[in-house]
Each structure stands twice: as C-alpha cells, then as structure tokens.
Structure 1
Amino acid sequence: METRAFSLSLGEGLTLRGNWHADRTKGERQPILLFCHGFKGFKDWGSFPYIAEELAKRGIVTIRFNFSCNGVGESETHFDELEKFGRNTYAREVADLQALVEAIQANELDLPEVADKDKLFVTGHSKGGADAILFGAGNPRVTGIITWNGVADVNLFDEKLRAEIAQHGVGYIPNARTGQQMPITRVVIEDVDSHRQEYDLLDKVAKMDQPLRIIQGREDFARLVKGADRLHAAAKNSELYWIDGADHTFNARHPFAGSTPQLEEAIRLTADFVHSRWT
C-alpha cells in the first residue's frame, strides 16, 4: 500500500490538500476515485482514511481531499480557518474539483503509473454528494458518480438562519463535536439562491448519461432517506442501494474506533460499481 500527501495552490490564498492511496499490486491499470467530504467534514474525519485504504486494496486509486474553504487548514484535523468556512460555496467546491482533475491530468500529483487518468469516478458523502453530481453530471472526464447518504437539495439552511444572515450578514451553526460556532455568510446563501436551476440536483441526474449509484442508510436523517428516493426516481440511469441499520456515517465515529458492517457494505458497493463501470 502506498499513500502520499499533496497540496495544490489555487490562488487567492486558497490551498487544496489531499492524500492519495494506491496498491500497485492490484492491477496494471486502475481507475481513480475522488472522495468528497460533506458539510463540516474533512478528509481525515473518522473513517475516511480507512475507506480510502480499503478501496485502494480493491484496485482503485483513491484520492481524499479537503475543499479549500472547508475551514480546515494546515492542521488538517481542526477547524482553524472559520473565515473560509463562512464563505464556502458550491461554486468554490466545483472549482476545487476542476482544479484537482486538471492536476491529475497534468501529472502534478505524482500518481502511480497504474492510475488510469481516463477513468475518473466521483464519490461524495452527504453534501459532498451534491458536489459529486454538480461537478460530474455531463462532465466527459467523469465515468460514474456515487453518493453516500447524499443530499437531494443543495439548500441546507432553514429560514431562521437565513433571516439571521439577512439581518447581520452572517449567521452561526453549532458544531456539536468541537463546540465551535460555525459562520455562514451572505455569499453562501446568494450562491444557492442565484443558481437554483443550475444547482437543481434532480434535474442534473435526470439529464446526465453517466451511471449513478445511490448508497443510503435506512437510519439516516429522514430528509436524506426521502431524498434518496427522489434522486433515484428522477435519474435517467441510477441504482439505489439501501443499507439496513446504517446512520449518517454508516455507524462509524470520529475519532475512528474501527469499521462497522454498514461501512463495509458501503465500501463493497462502491468498489463493485467502479469496477463494473470501468472495464
């Protein structure tokens, strides 16, 4: 097993940090999978390094990364850039994915020679599922998309928070794990509201030709459980797999305390999809 850290300077004081995982012994040519974290997530959260290693063991070069404005800076484990978190938009995250793919194509990540740069898959957990769809749908460089407990609607904010932001320019949401108050600024709301058609996930999956695999835990939040059905019903080419007993993180925790049967099933379903669509 080989893993390597990388960082991409994006300008404007922004940096995309990531790690790739590969096992050269698993095939002379291997597909590449990008793993997008969700809201208040980061590449080193709980099970994410484990997931990347397990997918690499199955012959998939896996890249986990932090979006440049996810709020986690050089520490890579703490929310030490809350100002950036407060202005993180879907537009920014899609631009990050574009920069990452361009770096892959330009050989800037020093990926192993087994990596098949023509076969990219994008996986996203929770809000990251929206990023995977927004970036991947109709993108000729993306072979397939997988969502893990993904959202079906890009608007994550209730009317109370929106009113607070409208009045003060910023609102706050608590991070139960860290105790921090996480800022959300007006630019985040404006990004969602000014791109309602462009960010319509149901419309995106209805029009895209690439295959979509939806992996959804039955014990996840009700909004996401219902959203999985909505995505599947709208999509032109999708498969919906339910995992019994799985909560929003497939029963894994941070700090990582070991895998779970539900997480193992999500990993298996992901690897099976990639290999079935890659060959």
Structure 2
Amino acid sequence: MRISLNNIIQSKYNKPILLDYGFKNNGLKKPVILFAHGFKGFKDWGHFNKVMEHFIENDFVFVKFNFSHNGGTVEQPIDFPDLEAFGNNNYTKELDDLRTVTDWIEDNEHIPAEEINTEEIYLIGHSRGGGISVISASEDKRIKKLVTWAAVADLINRIPESQLEFWKEQGVIYVENARTKQQMPMYYQFVEDTLNNKERLTIENAARKIDFPHLIIHGTNDKAVDVTEAHNLAKWNSNAELFIIEDADHVFGASHPFIESGFPADVKLVLEKTIQFFK
C-alpha cells in the first residue's frame, strides 16, 4: 500500500488545497474514490485516515482533501488556524475546489497508469460535502457513481433568515465550534454567493439531473441533518438507492480524535454498503 499525504495543489483562489491519496501496488487498474468533507470538517478528521486505508485494501484508489477555505493551512491541516479563510468560504468555492481535484485525478501525474482507472471516478460526500457532491456529480460527466453520507438536501434554507438583516449590517456572524470552542466567522459574502447562484445551488435541481447510480446513507438519530433530507434526495432521483441505519448519528458513531483500533458498528455498515455499491 502506498499513501502520500499533504500534497499541495493550487485552487482557483490562490489558496492551496491539501490532498492525500493512496493505492495498492498490485497492477490492477482501480477505480478512484474522491471524498469530500463537510462543514467545519477536514480530511484528517476522526477515522478518515482509517477509512482511506480500508478502501485502498478493497482495491480502490482513494483521494481526500481539504477545501481551500475550510480554515486549515499547509502547516496545520487539522483544525482551523485560518479563520479568515473559513469566513470567506462559500459553496461556489467548494464546487470549484472539487472540480480542481477531479482535474488533478484525470491528469494523473502521480499514480502509475497500471494502478488507476481515471475513467471510473466515484464520489463520496459527507454532510455539506454530500450536498456539494450531488451538485458536482450533476455537472461533471467524469463522475460515474455517487455515495452521500448524512448529506444535506438543501443548501439555500440553511441560511438563517432571522439573522439576515443583522448579518448584512454587521458583515459577519459567528458560529461556535463545539469541540474547539472557536468563534468562527462567516462573512456576508456567503449569503451573496448563495443567493446569486440559487438555481445552481438548489440540490433538488441537481439530483433530478443525475442519471447514474446514487447511494444515500443516513442515520435516524442524526441531530445535525435530519433523515428526512435523505428521503428527499431519494425522491428526486429515480436512480437513487436509500440505506437508512436505525439510531445512527451524523458521524455514524465516530469521533475526533479517533483512537479506537476498529470501526464503530455503524461505520462498518456504511463502509460495507458503500464498497458493495461501488463494486
């Protein structure tokens, strides 16, 4: 198994995207899984490194990355040292970053040609990264299969209308990170980008365009993204398969930091179902 961590590629926005990739040296042309993290997330959160190893063992090339404005830096990719970047993030930037990483996979200057099948790129998105992945998959014909884990089905309604006037006047609101206790800024540009691109960012529009397999995995005890959003995604796409896990939470029992030797039971279910779907 070969794993390469913290590779730097440039985004459209003069901010680096940090990227990890890995594959098994076995001479098989393997499909590529591209993983997109969620809001207040990062590529090294919790069990994600173990998840990467698990997919590699099952004969996939695996790529995960930090969105350019997720709040991490090259020097400190874990957590959120760059709150200014976090505050200037928006959905359009994340869509552009995802396309940049897909371009990097297609160009393939790092993985031996006999080990990778760039004609088979599969996308996994968690939480907000799931919503971004649905939109990206609807726009990018290079994506052949899609799996969303605890994905949002609506980006527009996540803007709190009761705070809009205050947000516009102040230019910023703050969201607390429950784990780090940081007050994380979100500048009003986020609202402007969302409303200016409302049609593109309406996930229902994107889901209805997807004409290839989409697996939707969600837990009934998800307090961050209600399970009804999974049912909506399934309703909008006749090619979708819905897999509901009873009592599973938003991260399927994982945590950060992740020190366990094995996966929680719900994570095992998620991985088994995802691999079965991709095979």
TM-score range, shorter chain: over 0.9
Question: Which shifted more, 98-107 or 173-182?
Answer: 98-107
* One-letter identity of the residue aligned with 2:25: R
2:159 matched residue in structure 1: 157
Long gaps (5+) in structure 2: none
- Cα-to-partner distance string for 1:190-245 (whole Å, 9 max, x where unaligned): 11111221111112111221211101111112753111111101113100001122
**Aligned equivalents of 2:89 and 2:224: distance in 1?**
25
- How far off is 1:138 after superposition? 4.2
**Aligned equivalents of 2:215 and 2:164: distance in 1?**
32
Question: Which shifted more, 27-36 or 166-175?
Answer: 27-36
Output the TM-score relative to the length of structure 2. 0.93
2:18 matched residue in structure 1: 17
The answer as to whether partners of 2:94 and 2:132 remain within 8 angstroms in 1 is: yes
- How far off is 1:111 after superposition? 5.7
* One-letter identity of the residue aligned with 1:67: F
Question: How has the CA–CA distance of structure 1 residues 49 and 163 changed in structure 2, closer, same or farther, with 3 Å as cutoff?
Answer: farther
**Aligned equivalents of 2:113 and 2:81: distance in 1?**
32
1:52 matched residue in structure 2: 52
Q: Which of the residues 243, 267, 278 maps onto 2:271?
A: 267
The answer as to whether partners of 2:220 and 2:226 remain within 8 angstroms in 1 is: no
- Cα-to-partner distance string for 1:100-124 (whole Å, 9 max, x where unaligned): 1111222234466311111001110
The answer as to whether partners of 2:22 and 2:56 remain within 8 angstroms in 1 is: yes
1:175 matched residue in structure 2: 177
**Aligned equivalents of 1:116 and 1:218: distance in 2?**
35
Question: How has the CA–CA distance of structure 1 residues 184 and 222 changed in structure 2, closer, same or farther, with 3 Å as cutoff?
Answer: closer
Aligned-pair identity in percent equals 32
Coordinate RMSD, CA, aligned: 1.6
The answer as to whether partners of 1:24 and 1:112 remain within 8 angstroms in 2 is: no
**Aligned equivalents of 2:266 and 2:250: distance in 1?**
11
**Aligned equivalents of 2:194 and 2:28: distance in 1?**
42
2:41 matched residue in structure 1: 41
SS in 2 for 1:34: strand
Q: Count matched residues.
A: 274
Question: Which shifted more, 224-233 or 111-120?
Answer: 111-120
* One-letter identity of the residue aligned with 2:154: D
Runs (4 or more) in structure 1 with deviation over 4 Å come to none
**Aligned equivalents of 2:115 and 2:225: distance in 1?**
40
